[in-house]
Amino acid sequence: MSFNSIDFLLFFPFVLLAYWLLPRRGQNLFLLAASYFFLCYIHLWFGALIFLVTVVNYSCSIAITRWPDKKKFFLFFALLFCLGELAYFKYVSFFLENVTLLFNNFGIPFSQPVLSIMLPVGISFYTFQAIAYTIDVYRGDTHPCYDVIDFALFISFFPQLVAGPIERSRALLPQIRSSRHVSPEQIQQGLLLLIWGLFKKLVIADNTGLIAFKVFSLTDPSFFLLWSGVFAFGIQILADFWSYTDMARGSALLLGFKLSRNFDHPYFATSPADFWRRWHMTLSYWLRDYVYIPLGGSQVGSSFRRGANIIITFLLSGLWHGASWNFILWGAYHGMLVLLNRVGKKLFSPIRSFLPKQLPFPLLLLKILGTFVLINIGWLLFRETDIHALYHHFQLTPWSTTTEDNQVARYLFSLTFIYSLPVFLHGLLYFWDKKKRGPQNDYAKNILMLRPILAAFLLLGILTLRSPESATFIYFQF
């Protein structure tokens, strides 16, 4: 079931009404049933898989506490199961495909077994959430949850089940255990997040997605035509993924839960490292805490090891997104950008001491635009799954573009820019909002009064500007 479907429009109000008529214990049982229905609505056996992940991590976390002398074994078992099921459903076909190619290149006859594996929706998100919980129990950072209903709800909570955010146990479990209520402000905020998320999906993501699809469907796009398609995809993937997070947070708020922010206006980033502090933040923090720091992070002695830790972390980030060489290249590319960014900071640190702490606006804008260009180069790696086509794309030059293609490219770029304006304007308003807020003014009250007007404009935009075709959320495939 998807947030942008009629099914969800019927499902969520019923859940909301029944939920608030129940006591806390009844609420948790009902939410658990609703979450499994939400997942099993797509395919029945998806519920069986998340049930197994829940049972294994629930049992192993308790065993870690009861038998501390054997806690490494129980952690290993939980990790083996979680990573094993993730590897089977996401990577076994990719592995066999590359083994077949390798054997055939050496003249060894090998036929790839025919496998029909359906990727379970949300598997990467809830598996990582379960892994983080068990590791936290192992480290002593959190206590195991003995209430099986509460723990099962923590793993399967439907607003963030399919595409995140990846919640930590210390943030979500206390909310599950305690009584919940909503204030009028939370209701307003939740509804606005739902409407704003729906606007980003149906108006921005789906319209720019059609542009990107048309460009990448071309057999041999010219230079400017290709990069207008990359720009469209960059806007599409931001609006698409961010819209899911907003709708997840809005749904959760109406149920009395507060979920983590997953985006902080990433296209306003001033460096590649800053981009990863703003994009898919819960995954970035997950990789930092459970991969980068355990590898030694930046505390290891040699600069080679420090660089290797960054590259390994980003390679895993690429693999997390999918079993394809383009995702591995995308991860390696971002790892190199972050590494070069760190090296550049050290090299230019003497010069930076002479610069003002608050950069002049032209220089700040230049850094933002430069980072945006680098990120869009990465989106080409992310979008194009054919390695040979990628090689061809990077060989294109501006001078080979015909006048007709230039005109089409300008039109598509302009159209994408118009669709992207609400996202960039929202970013500017957000930063102005942060600067303006203060205890001595009525600004916050004015914003509250403007929310209904803003919601009305967004609904009008959805009715008049929505794309004729609505695609599934991009991150459902991860």
243, two tokens: 């819209």
Same domain (yes/no): 352, 459: yes
pLDDT of residue 53: 94
Same domain (yes/no): 22, 108: yes
Q: Which of the four pLDDT bands, split at 50, 70 and 90, describes residue 123?
A: confident
Better-predicted residue by pLDDT, 266 or 343: 266
Same domain (yes/no): 336, 404: yes
Closest C-alpha among 437, 427, 436 to residue 278: 427
**Can you give the residue range of the structural domain that contains 322?**
185-477
Distance CA 245, CA 280 (A): 9
Same domain (yes/no): 211, 357: yes
Distance CA 407, CA 11 (A): 46
Q: Does residue 270 register a pLDDT over 80?
A: yes
Outline where 322-442 has alpha helix (H): 325-347, 349-352, 361-383, 387-393, 403-436
pLDDT of residue 46: 81
Gyration radius from the chain CA atoms:
24
**Percentage of the residues of the chain whose pLDDT score is greater than 70:** 89
Distance CA 135, CA 71 (A): 10
Residue-wise pLDDT tens digits, 237-254: 999 999 999 999 999 999
Same domain (yes/no): 395, 375: yes
Same domain (yes/no): 282, 216: yes
Residue at 228 is within a domain: yes
321 is catalytic: yes
Residue at 142 is within a domain: yes
Residue at 1 is within a domain: no
pLDDT of residue 473: 78
Average pLDDT value for the chain: 86
Q: Does residue 446 register a pLDDT over 80?
A: no
Residue at 226 is within a domain: yes
Residue-wise pLDDT tens digits, 385-414: 888 899 988 988 888 778 888 899 999 999
Q: Does residue 203 register a pLDDT over 90?
A: yes
Q: Does residue 434 register a pLDDT over 90?
A: no
Closest C-alpha among 194, 164, 325 to residue 254: 194
Q: How many domains does the chain have?
A: 2
Q: Does residue 233 register a pLDDT over 70?
A: yes
pLDDT of residue 28: 94
Residue-wise pLDDT tens digits, 124-146: 899 999 999 999 999 999 999 99
300, two tokens: 């290891």
Q: Averaged over 190-212, what is the pLDDT?
A: 92
CA atoms within 13 A on the CB side of 169: 23
Instruction: State the DSSP string of 171-235.
Output: HHHHHHHS-----HHHHHHHHHHHHHHHHIIIIIIHHHHHHHHHHHTSSS--HHHHHHHHHHHHH
Q: Averaged over 81-101, what is the pLDDT?
A: 80
DSSP H or E segment with residue 280: none
**Sole residue written with tokens 């509460």:** 150
| Size of the chain, expressed as the number of residues it contains | 478
pLDDT of residue 440: 46
Instruction: State the DSSP string of 94-120.
Output: HHHHHHHHHHHHTT----------PPP
**What is the reported pTM?**
0.88
Residue-wise pLDDT tens digits, 299-354: 877 788 888 999 999 999 998 888 788 899 999 999 999 999 888 877 766 776 66
Distance CA 412, CA 225 (A): 8
Better-predicted residue by pLDDT, 298 or 196: 196
* Cα–Cα separations (whole angstroms), residue 387 to 21, 66, 339, 349, 404: 54, 50, 24, 38, 28
Indicate the residue among 123, 151, 180 that finishes a domain.
180
Dmax (CA) for the chain in angstroms is 77
- Other CB atoms within 10 Å distance of the CB of residue 58: 23
Q: Do 278 and 242 contact (CB within 8 A), yes or no?
A: no
Q: Does residue 449 register a pLDDT over 70?
A: no
Out of 105-119, 189-203, 276-290, 349-363, which region has the weakest mean confidence (pLDDT)? 105-119
Same domain (yes/no): 74, 116: yes
Same domain (yes/no): 258, 170: no
Q: Do 405 and 222 contact (CB within 8 A), yes or no?
A: yes
Indicate the residue among 180, 195, 212 that finishes a domain.
180
Q: Which of the four pLDDT bands, split at 50, 70 and 90, describes residue 103?
A: low
Better-predicted residue by pLDDT, 1 or 340: 340
Q: Which of the four pLDDT bands, split at 50, 70 and 90, describes residue 438?
A: low
Indicate the residue among 161, 180, 199 that finishes a domain.
180
Q: Does residue 106 register a pLDDT over 80?
A: no
Q: Do 453 and 193 contact (CB within 8 A), yes or no?
A: no
Residue at 84 is within a domain: yes
pLDDT of residue 443: 45
pLDDT of residue 301: 73
From 321, 392, 393, 426, active-site residue: 321
Residue at 77 is within a domain: yes
Same domain (yes/no): 164, 206: no
pLDDT of residue 17: 92
Closest C-alpha among 60, 85, 242, 225 to residue 165: 242
Same domain (yes/no): 354, 267: yes
Same domain (yes/no): 165, 280: no
Same domain (yes/no): 18, 163: yes
Residue at 319 is within a domain: yes
